Amino acid sequence: MTRIVSYNILTGGYNARASGTRARRINELTKILRAAQPDIAGIVEATHPGMQQKPLIIEEIAETLGMQLVLGGEATHYHDYRLAFLTRLPIIHTHIHPRPGILNKPLLEVCVEEAGGEHLTAFVTHLSAAFNRGRAGGHIRLREAQEIMRIMAPLRAQKQPHMVMGDFNSLAPGDPFQAHLLLRYLTWLDKRRQGHKLADGHPHLDVVVPPELRILNPLLRAIPRNRVLSTLFDAAAAIYAPRGSIKLLRNAGYVDCYRHLHPHTNGFTCPATLPAGRIDYIFVSPDLASRLVTCDVITEGEGIPGNHASDHLAVTATLGERTQSATD
């Protein structure tokens, strides 16, 4: 059995608005991960470029869990969080695929050896948000997904077992989207900030709304308080929401682990406080589909609610032992 976790831990596990022990979410994050007992974990926003004091939270988590840590490409600007990979399994090789100007974050590739001796290659990604760029944001993510597909093409051609996981900032085709809950969350955050736009990793309403539509912000703040407006907003947002990058992966044969095992449940992962949509995924190559045993959203770990650890809920999957039918 190989247990997998994909987790956006929010700004490297640091709270920019807190001080002392409250400024570090290491205890909460460790409990969430330890409860899942992962053999491999793809971590998004694993570091905060403004927090460089050693050891980093992700380094402490790795040591506490007894896992090896592989960090992705270096941060290039203040808002550029790095990816990471944690594993208990022997590492065969690692590779960082930068592609500046195309990929929002360098794609992190790690090949490990499973208990039975088979090699399994995992990719960790974090696609652009760029929601306030409207349809252009969707095109940016689609371009990133196309580049990831190009990088993984040799493995597909050779039918080598591999997976890609992370925060795709995209909905899957056919998935529901309770957009009014996201809107409620954003307006709640903006009210708490009292006009101070501290870079704490949490989104602002202006991060989601294109500049030309911000004149409508007062109306948007009112929508979550009205049931009829919320219903209409959800219907409109479901049509507008970006889905192209996930469609691309599916069309190439990659298996959306959660939707494969749970065709009729929401599986929302973000925001953790008020889940409105599913944007965190674990995809496996078609040859691994027969080994897929479980895939679930982690809502708590060792008594810690998921929203106390991050603004995303983690996703976990389990691959069973390889069988003859899985190799045919």
Residue 100: the pLDDT is 84
What is 2-174+242-327's CATH number? 3.60.10.10
Q: Which residues share a beta bridge with 85?
A: 42, 70
Sequence-separated (6 or more) residues with CB below 8 Å from residue 156: 252, 253, 285
**Delimiting residues of CATH 3.60.10.10 domain(s) in the chain:** 2-174+242-327
> Which of 137, 108, 7, 152 is CA-nearest to residue 65?
7
Residue 223: the pLDDT is 86
Is the pTM for the entire model greater than 0.85?
yes
Residue 119: the pLDDT is 97
Q: Strand order of the sheet with strand 119-126?
A: 91-97, 107-113, 119-126, 162-167, 280-284, 255-256
Question: What residue ranges of the chain have pLDDT lower than 70?
Answer: 16-22, 75-79, 131-135, 193-202, 204, 206-214, 324-328
Count Cβ atoms within 10 A of the Cβ of residue 176 and give its class: 0-12 exposed, 13-18 middle, 19 or more buried. Answer: middle
Whether the Cβ atoms of residue 201 and residue 11 lie closer than 8 Å to each other: yes
Taken as a whole, the chain contains a residue count of 328
Residue 195: the pLDDT is 57
Residue 10: the pLDDT is 94
List, for residues 213-252, the tens digit of each pLDDT value.
667 778 888 888 899 989 998 898 888 888 999 999 999 9
Residue 328: the pLDDT is 45
